[in-house]
Homo-oligomer: A and B are copies of this chain.
């Protein structure tokens, strides 16, 4: 089966999930439908079906879990957007903007409840392992978000700490999505573990790609404002590496720009990007990204799944690694 087919399965399942939410109270459930319809790449439920698809053509037993991870991911976006005070998500108003903060909190909570519900619909034989993986991951995603917020207030963050943060906040869910899919169709724990590592390492590479695109993305195709991270003084891999590599003068210039208000706008983005360029930060980030992605591929090689099926999964993640949005 190919990715397009999986995407159809995911889309149909999401429509069913949306239709299954109660109508009342509308203030609680309407934001769920709104959020689930906002779209996105559906990367995580696709990974779940692909994790299953490595071992069988009959991936249907993994569909509830695929919905569980997608609902969970969207729930975290809903609450993260409150915490980050983000006005837009995928070009549309965030829930706390369109409704209000209380709505976003409570709709998020019931969305998390729905995520649990779908996870528990996994096949009985796999349920204990699926629950264990899901719950561990859910706690780690919260931990990652906490570190992300902590780092905003911390004056010193190391590259290692940053990589651990994105691993928790973003990458472990990719790993969990894949391995849960495999578990749902009866793959052994040892295989699920390798897929988890593949997804986790891919997830880190994917987030580094995000950091790079935020600075070097094509404004025509990049979904968000190019330079958004720079304007927000976000301690990304790029900024942390630049601060580490800079000589005295460059460091001083960089720190000066960090003091500049967001209203400095394009000027700030251009100046900081220029320093990144002087220091070869883009290549450094790419190296780190490629290193993680190669380790990911290694883990995938070690699974005993059919080579052709692995190639399909690999094609999917390859495409995500050269994306421009």
Q: Given A79-B105, A105-B79, A150-B27, does the pair A139, B120 have CB atoms closer than 8 Å? A: no
Query: Which one of A140-148, A188-196, A250-258 contacts B?
Result: A140-148
* Bound Cα distance from A102 to B146, whole angstroms: 9
Contact with B along A97-129 (1 / 0, CB 8 A): 000011001101110111011001000100110
Q: How far is the CA of A112 from the CA of B134 in the complex (A)?
A: 13
**Would you call B110 and A139 a contact (CB within 8 A)?**
yes
Task: Find chain B residues with CB under 8 A from A82 CB.
Answer: 102, 105
Q: Does A178 sit within 8 A of B, measured CB to CB?
A: no
Given A113-B135, A117-B135, A139-B113, A106 and B25 contact (CB-CB distance below 8 Å): no
**B-contact bits for A127-162, CB 8 A (1 contact / 0 none):** 110010001001100110111011000000000000
Assembly CA distance A105 to B83 (angstroms): 8
Whether A28 touches B112, Cβ cut-off 8 Å, given contacts A102-B83, A135-B117, is no
A120 to B108, alpha carbons, bound, how many Å? 21
* CA A135 to CA B142, docked complex, whole Å: 21
Q: Is the CB of B28 within 8 A of A109?
A: no
A114 to B113, CA, bound (A): 13
Instruction: Report yes or no: A120 in contact with B131, Cβ–Cβ below 8 A.
Output: yes
Contact across chains for A138 and B120 when beta carbons are under 8 A apart = no
Lowest 8 A-B CB distances belong to which pairs?
A28-B146, A110-B142, A25-B146, A83-B102, A113-B138, A117-B135, A113-B139, A120-B131
